[in-house]
Every structure is written in structure tokens, then in C-alpha cells.
């Protein structure tokens, strides 16, 4: 029987690449996003099925408790088990602190931090009962390094990194590992919007040791590693996937 994985925020970008990459590795994939991204989810589901794996698209806003509960009801009605959770859903806006509206700060934390908390909390009883599971958070090097105009985003991702460490302490005795992947600058739609100009893209390219920015597919291998048995003795860690921008 195939192993199963849930990827949140899966309709495009890094989430989409992870969903397809996990299908390539023999996983059945539950894919989540908000209602406005349903068409992308349906297209992705078809691509996963064409790879010979089951796909389960689930529309839900992960920052809403009722919708998270309904999402897991649908997953566990369709599948008996969920082996891996990938908390990928996230949003990014750019604003200096003095110009940052309170509602934007709250929305970024609602999705990036609270959403990760709600989805993880919902799956813990299932994984504890089975005494097995892999929880993988997609954080960011911004959660370690920070950057002007991104106080709200970097703070939310820093919270995810610390959440990873605490969860590892709480869940290890149940055979559950919890790790974070910290992408650098990945050329998704969100990443390009953040960079803005070709000049900024070129400047950041030169700051990487590999002299290139990342593609969504560059993140997949680290997620698959944390999902598999080769990482069975690794938990509470945050792995940079940034081409060599930061080193801690």
C-alpha cells in the first residue's frame, strides 16, 4: 500500500512541486488550498493520478479551525491513515514596519503560524495513536536571517522554526519526527513578486554560492528526505535550502 501525505498550499509554487515529487516517489497525495485556487488543485489532482497515485483535493482555509476539522474529516473518510504532513501554505507581503497595517500582520501570522499550528494539532492524535508520523514545516531562511520590509513574514517563519523544535520534544517518544525546510529565494510567483525587478533577481543570484536562485523542484528532495526512513533519527532540525546564502 502506498504511503500517504497531505501538502497544504499545493495549487502552485513549492507546494505543487512537492505534491508531484511525492507522487513520483510513490505517495498518494492529499492536496489543499483555498477556494480561489480550486481549479489549480483539480489540475494538480489529474497530474498526480496520471503518475499512478491517488489524489485527494481538499479546499480549506488552514487559518480557520472549522475548515481544518472538515478537511481532516474528508481525508480520514477517504483514507485510513496519513503518514506525512507537509505544512507548506504561506503568504508574503512587503512593507516597512512603520507602514505595516495591523490587519496585514495578523493575516500573515494567521496563515503562516496559526495555520501551521491548527493543521499540525489536528493530525497529532492520529499519529500518536499509530506511534508513527513525519511532520515537515516549510519555513524560510527569513525566519533565521530577517530582511527589511518583511518583519511580519520573517517573524512568522521564525515562529514556525521554534514550533518545530518544541514539537520534536513533545512528540519524539511517539515515533513522530518534526523538521523544517527553510527555502531561500525560490522563483515562484510569490518569490518573483517579492523580488520585484530583474536587477534584484540578479543581485540575489550573485549572493548565492551556486550563483543561481532556486526553482520549486529544488525543495522537493529535502522534503522527501525528512518524510522517509533515511531521516528516522533526525528531528527538531531546520535545513536551509538556499544555494548558499546563509549557513546556520
Show pLDDT as tens, one digit a residue, over the chain (248 residues): 789 999 999 999 999 999 999 999 999 999 999 999 999 999 999 999 999 999 999 999 999 999 999 999 999 999 999 999 999 999 999 999 999 999 999 999 999 999 999 999 999 999 999 999 999 999 999 999 988 999 999 999 999 999 999 999 999 999 999 999 999 999 987 766 667 678 888 888 999 999 999 999 999 999 999 999 999 999 999 999 999 999 99
Nearest Cα neighbor of 140 from 119, 115, 159, 124 is 159
> Residue 246 domain-assigned?
no
CA distance 133 to 176: 5
> Residue 248 domain-assigned?
no
> Residue 22 domain-assigned?
yes
Domain that holds residue 40: 4-241
User: What pLDDT score does 193 carry?
Assistant: 67
> Residue 247 domain-assigned?
no
> Residue 137 domain-assigned?
yes
Distance of CA 22 to the CA centre of its chain: 13
CATH of the domain at 9: 3.40.50.720
Question: What's the Cα-to-Cα distance from 242 to each of 12, 101, 113, 219, rounded to whole Å?
Answer: 19, 30, 21, 9
pTM of the model: 0.96
Q: How many domains does the chain have?
A: 1
Nearest Cα neighbor of 31 from 115, 40, 107 is 40
Element (H, E) at 137: strand 133-138
> Residue 204 domain-assigned?
yes
Q: Which residues are catalytic?
A: 153
User: What pLDDT score does 1 carry?
Assistant: 72
> Residue 147 domain-assigned?
yes
Element (H, E) at 180: strand 176-183
> Residue 23 domain-assigned?
yes
Amino acid at each position: 500500500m502506498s504511503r500517504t501525505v497531505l501538502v497544504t498550499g499545493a495549487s502552485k509554487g513549492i507546494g505543487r512541486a512537492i505534491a508531484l515529487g511525492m507522487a513520483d516517489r510513490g505517495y498518494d497525495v492529499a492536496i489543499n488550498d483555498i477556494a480561489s485556487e480550486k481549479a489549480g488543485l483539480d489540475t494538480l489532482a489529474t497530474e498526480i493520478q496520471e503518475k499512478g497515485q491517488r489524489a485527494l483535493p481538499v479546499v480549506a482555509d488552514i487559518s480557520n479551525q472549522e475548515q481544518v476539522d472538515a478537511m481532516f474529516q474528508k481525508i480520514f473518510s477517504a483514507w485510513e491513515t496519513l503518514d506525512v504532513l507537509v505544512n507548506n501554505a504561506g503568504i508574503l507581503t512587503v512593507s516597512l514596519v512603520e507602514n505595516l497595517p495591523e490587519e496585514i500582520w495578523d493575516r500573515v501570522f494567521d496563515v503562516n503560524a496559526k495555520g501551521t499550528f491548527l493543521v499540525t494539532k489536528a493530525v497529532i492524535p492520529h499519529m500518536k495513536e499509530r506511534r508513527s508520523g513525519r511532520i515537515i514545516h516549510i519555513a524560510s531562511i527569513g525566519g533565521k536571517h530577517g530582511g527589511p520590509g518583511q518583519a511580519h513574514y520573517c517573524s512568522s517563519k521564525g515562529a514556525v522554526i521554534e514550533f518545530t523544535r518544541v514539537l520534536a520534544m513533545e512528540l519524539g517518544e511517539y515515533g513522530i519526527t518534526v523538521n523544517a525546510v527553510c527555502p531561500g529565494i525560490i522563483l515562484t510567483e510569490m518569490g518573483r513578486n517579492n523580488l520585484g525587478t530583474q536587477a534584484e533577481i540578479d543581485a540575489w543570484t550573485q549572493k548565492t554560492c551556486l550563483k543561481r536562485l532556486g526553482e520549486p523542484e529544488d525543495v522537493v528532495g529535502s522534503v522527501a528526505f525528512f518524510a522517509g526512513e533515511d531521516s528516522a533519527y533526525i528531528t527538531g532540525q531546520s535545513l536551509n535550502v538556499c544555494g548558499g546564502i546563509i549557513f546556520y
